Structure 1
């Protein structure tokens, strides 16, 4: 098991949360808290970079949904970038790839509008 790390970076377009390690039932709440504590001001974008994600279970997916819902409720956009193949497949199988804005390249989301 890889420990979960979440790094927040403010960028001109909003906020980037870099998630690395394993996102599972033991730590999914940490992602929810990180998104709530560091939320960008309304009208910005919360980008969740999953490039370092090693594993994600259903609790991790639920946390991503909660982060998206919180972002939208606070007037922000939310996007997932660099989603690993296994997680992308899970999102596709559950239809959540139609709910999330999934991007390969984070630069349009992290640059100034």
Structure 2
């Protein structure tokens, strides 16, 4: 399964939409996307996971690493719209209390379509 990542950035925040499966094989691509995005320095990143069908521990580790890097800079990394299978992984691992998890991408981030 392929991993598709698209990012829409505006001043101060970015929305990263991920689709496909995040696993041992696709995690390096996601990690590279985070590294590129973090260079631009948004204060808030929301990860739209509505298209993620599967995420294993490798994928969760990539998300945790990105969260740590954001927090070190005083920023926020949030998860939005995880499918039931991904939400269950977040709950079972306790990561739903580590990440801010939204049922959908916050509306204020959808209104500005520039970028």
Same fold (TM over 0.5): yes
Match of 1:18, SS state, is: strand
Residue 35 of structure 2 is matched in structure 1 by 36
Structure 1, unpaired ranges of 5+:
none
CA shift in 2, pair 1:12/1:97, >3 Å: same
Structure 1 CA distance, aligned partners of 2:20 and 2:14?
20
Gaps of 5+ in 2: none
**Residue 74 of structure 1 corresponds to which residue in structure 2?**
73
Q: CA deviation at 1:109?
A: 5.8
Q: TM-score, normalised by structure 1?
A: 0.87
Separation in structure 2 between the aligned mates of residue 95 and residue 9 of structure 1, nearest angstrom:
28
3-state SS of paired residue (1:38): helix
User: How far, CA to CA, are the matches of 1:65 and 1:33 in structure 2?
Assistant: 14
Aligned to 2:84: 85
| 1:29-86 Cα deviation digits (max 9, x unpaired) | 21122112112535x2111110100111111111111111111122211100011111
How do 1:1-113 and structure 2 match up within 5 A? 2-39=1-38, 40-41=40-41, 44-108=43-107, 110=109
Moved over 4 A (4+): none
Which structure has the higher relative contact order (CA within 8 Å, separation 6+)?
A: 1
The total of aligned residue pairs comes to: 110
